[in-house]
């Protein structure tokens, strides 16, 4: 890599349609899980510019943090840029002496429900696998990102975000013990266009912390809580039905399944929804939405809805009047990418 080059990467955020929660241990390792999702044209970006000294200067636009480290120091995971420090520690060469400037930002805030933290880890892994010349397959990148975030840093969550960001596109992902299988869906062009036309993505105006929701979900599974476990089983079954509906072009059926899945998900943990989310969802349904859900673990972030095309503008206007922010988006089919730019 030339000293005049900047190495960049971007990885797409995602919207999850179904199965979220079945990719979280101990449910995943006990019963197996599956998720249905697509990546969208909102991204996590990382830029890495070589320096001539041994200084690492890292800047996060999202958290308004600038920090400086030495290439030979042992990083302390203290809540300051831990995602970046954990990736660098995992991939850097032991004798690496040359430093770099690192710049990170995302198109959605942490807590948005769009998988921004996991997507940032994938973008970081992609940059540093190139910077340190580490040959990694897409499956290895996603698995490493998962291990760094969930194991090394102990951040709560499932597996789907890392694989969605790495592979991109529409995927039905199966979690079978320690094995993950990404099944790309070949949807008819008309189905993709109609789905894009009829989906609504609305920021609820509030971010959320997913850890408490996931802790409660994990505790229910460990204790054998029948209501929560049965609801998670139903989420898995509905996810398969959603996948089949998309492949068959049955979008009205898909919208109805989104609604059933949302009802099931609310049984998993008490903080998945709240009065504000329930009111927004109820109003959207009253105005014609066939179904929807909170994207991510719940408690805030983005509300995803499927509605007939002639009801979208009415629903968007109502959600905006309630403090929501409808978001324009398009599907992404590229996944995580890296490139070099000349200064």
210-238 pLDDT per residue, tens:
557 778 877 888 888 888 899 999 999 99
CATH of domain 5-186+332-342: 3.30.230.10
CATH of domain 189-330: 3.30.70.890
CA 177 remoteness from chain centre: 21
In terms of residues, how long is the chain?
343
Domain spans in the chain, listed from the N-terminal domain onward: 5-186+332-342, 189-330
119-178 pLDDT per residue, tens:
999 999 999 999 989 999 999 999 999 999 999 999 988 999 999 999 999 999 999 988
Residues serving a catalytic function are: 161
CB-neighbour burial class of residue 186 (10 A; exposed 0-12, middle 13-18, buried 19+): exposed
- pLDDT at position 105, please? 95
Looking up tokens 């429900």 gives: 113
- Cβ neighbour number for residue 170 with a 10 Å cutoff: 24
Element (H, E) at 7: strand 5-18
319-339 pLDDT per residue, tens:
999 999 999 999 999 999 999
Q: Is the pLDDT of residue 298 over 70?
A: no
The token pair at 194 is 């109609």
CB-neighbour burial class of residue 317 (10 A; exposed 0-12, middle 13-18, buried 19+): exposed
- pLDDT at position 216, please? 81
Are 159 and 146 contacting, i.e. CB atoms less than 8 angstroms apart? yes
Looking at the DSSP bridge assignments, the partners of residue 33 are: 175
Gap between the Cα atoms of 304 and 289, Å rounded = 10
SS (H, E, C) 210-243: CHHHHHHHHHHHHHCCHHHHHHHHHHHHHHHHHH
Residue 162, CA distances (Å) to 23, 111, 157, 183, 336 in order: 11, 16, 11, 15, 10
Q: What is the pTM of this model?
A: 0.93
66-117 pLDDT per residue, tens:
999 988 888 899 989 999 999 999 998 776 678 999 999 999 877 788 889 9
236-289 pLDDT per residue, tens:
999 999 999 999 999 999 999 999 999 999 888 777 888 999 999 999 999 999
SS (H, E, C) 240-261: HHHHHHHHCCCHHHHHHHHHHH
The sign one gets for the Cα dihedral 256, 259, 265, 267 is: negative
- pLDDT at position 290, please? 98
Residue among 293, 310, 311 at smallest CA distance from 302: 293
Are 47 and 65 contacting, i.e. CB atoms less than 8 angstroms apart? no
Confidence at 207, pLDDT banded by 50, 70, 90: low
* One-character DSSP codes across 18-44: E-TTTTSTTHHHHH-EEEEEEEEEEEE
- pLDDT at position 208, please? 55
């Amino acid at each position: 890599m030339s000293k005049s080059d900047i190495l960049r990467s971007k990885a797409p955020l995602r919207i999850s349609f179904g199965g979220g929660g079945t990719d979280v241990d101990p449910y995943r390792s006990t019963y197996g899980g599956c998720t249905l999702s697509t990546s969208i044209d909102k991204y996590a970006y990382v830029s890495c510019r070589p320096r001539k000294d041994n200084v690492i200067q890292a800047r996060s636009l999202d958290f308004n943090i600038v920090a400086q480290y030495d290439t030979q120091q042992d990083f302390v995971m203290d809540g300051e840029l831990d995602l970046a420090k954990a990736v660098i520690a995992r991939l850097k060469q032991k004798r690496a002496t040359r430093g770099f400037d690192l710049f990170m930002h995302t198109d959605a805030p942490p807590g948005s429900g769009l998988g921004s933290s996991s997507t940032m880890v994938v973008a970081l892994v992609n940059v540093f696998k190139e910077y340190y010349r580490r040959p990694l397959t897409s499956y290895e990148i996603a698995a490493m990102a998962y291990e760094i975030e969930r194991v090394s840093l102990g951040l709560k969550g499932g597996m789907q975000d890392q694989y969605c960001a790495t592979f991109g596109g529409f995927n039905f992902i199966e979690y079978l013990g320690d094995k993950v299988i990404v099944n790309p869906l070949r949807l008819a062009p008309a189905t993709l266009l109609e789905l894009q036309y009829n989906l609504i993505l609305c920021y609820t105006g509030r971010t959320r912390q997913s850890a408490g929701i996931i802790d409660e979900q994990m505790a229910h599974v460990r204790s054998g809580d029948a209501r929560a476990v049965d609801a998670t089983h139903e989420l898995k079954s509905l996810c398969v039905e959603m996948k089949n509906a998309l492949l068959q072009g049955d979008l009205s059926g898909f919208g109805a399944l989104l609604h059933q899945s949302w009802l099931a998900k609310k049984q998993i943990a008490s903080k998945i929804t709240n009065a504000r989310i329930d009111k927004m969802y109820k109003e959207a349904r009253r105005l014609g939405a066939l179904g929807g859900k909170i994207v991510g673990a719940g408690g805030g972030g983005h509300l995803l809805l499927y509605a007939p095309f002639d009801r979208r503008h009415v629903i968007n206007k109502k959600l905006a009047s309630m403090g929501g922010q409808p978001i324009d988006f398009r599907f992404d089919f590229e996944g995580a990418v890296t490139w070099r730019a000349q200064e």
